[in-house]
Amino acid sequence: MNRLTLIRLGVIVAFFGLLEILCRTGVISPFTMIPPSEMAIELWALIVSGEVARGMRQTLGNVAVACILAITVGFAVGAGVHALPRLRRALDPFLTTYYAVPFFVFYPLLVFIFGMNNFPMIMIGFLFAVVAMIINTLNGLDKIPRVYRKVARMHHMGRAKTALLIELPYAIPNLFTGVKLAVAYSFIGVIAAEFILAPGGLGYAISFAYDNFDNETMYALMLFILVLVTIINMSLHAYEQRLLRRQGR
């Protein structure tokens, strides 16, 4: 393990240690926050009892659907728009200001139209994630040096062959950045939606525990989501960095 990772680990341990001390000594009251060690114990109990698994299945299922939809649609739209420069230029201001719109205000509307089921949550996750995929697809295709396309022409490659052998491999690191963001944004979208209004899922369970002053369950579930999402995001991030390094960028 290198030195940086060790220091980083130290910082994180120190942070939780400090929280633990502040909670144990009563500087942070137990009505505000329970000590991290108790969160972990409580979380273990929830996992053993199978209570977490039910919420997790629903949340992860929705995230997976939203994410796969966002990646496929985002890639298709990105590739399509890239082929039409005039449309692309007209869309650019909308793409760059897209994330300025606080998307969750549409969520109540979606619940209203489609009812209280998984569909509105998937839609929010999808809407939140898809544009990141579109932007990164465009970025990836933009970055292909002209000389690569010239090489393709010199070898008399057709459109499909150029796309498959030249453009796609070159764009993969950027496409993967899109995938990484799509995963992170789907999580944010789905969990936030569950939080606001939902029939179930981890976000709903937290909001339910909050309403019932059940701090133990609430903090255990919070810890669970934060750890789970961090592990997923960081693995994707590490893989992305490896892809970028391999291309020497």
Residue nearer to another protein on the CB measure, 7 or 76: 7
d(CA 138, CA 247): 18
Q: Which tokens is 125 given?
A: 């996750």
Is there binding between residue 116 and another protein (CB under 8 A)? no
Residue 51, burial from CB neighbour count under 10 angstroms (0-12, 13-18, 19+): middle
Q: Which of 24, 237, 242, 245 touches another protein by CB under 8 A?
A: 237
Residue nearer to another protein on the CB measure, 135 or 152: 135
CB under 8 A: which stretch of 67-75, 145-153, 160-168, 204-212 binds another protein?
A: 204-212
Q: Which of 13, 17, 53, 99 touches another protein by CB under 8 A?
A: 99
Number of chain residues interacting with another protein (CB under 8 A):
54
Residue 166, burial from CB neighbour count under 10 angstroms (0-12, 13-18, 19+): middle
Cβ neighbours for 170, distance < 8 A, ≥ 6 positions apart: 140, 143, 144, 148, 247
Q: Quote the least distance from Cβ 187 to another protein, whole Å.
A: 5
Binding mask 72-91 for another protein (x = CB under 8 A): --------------xx-xxx
Is there binding between residue 160 and another protein (CB under 8 A)? no
Is there binding between residue 1 and another protein (CB under 8 A)? no
Q: Quote the least distance from Cβ 130 to another protein, whole Å.
A: 16
Interacting residues toward another protein by CB under 8 A: 4, 7-8, 11-12, 31-33, 86-87, 89-91, 93-94, 96-97, 99-109, 111-113, 181, 184, 187-188, 191-192, 195-196, 203, 206-207, 209-210, 218, 221-222, 225-226, 229-230, 233-234, 237
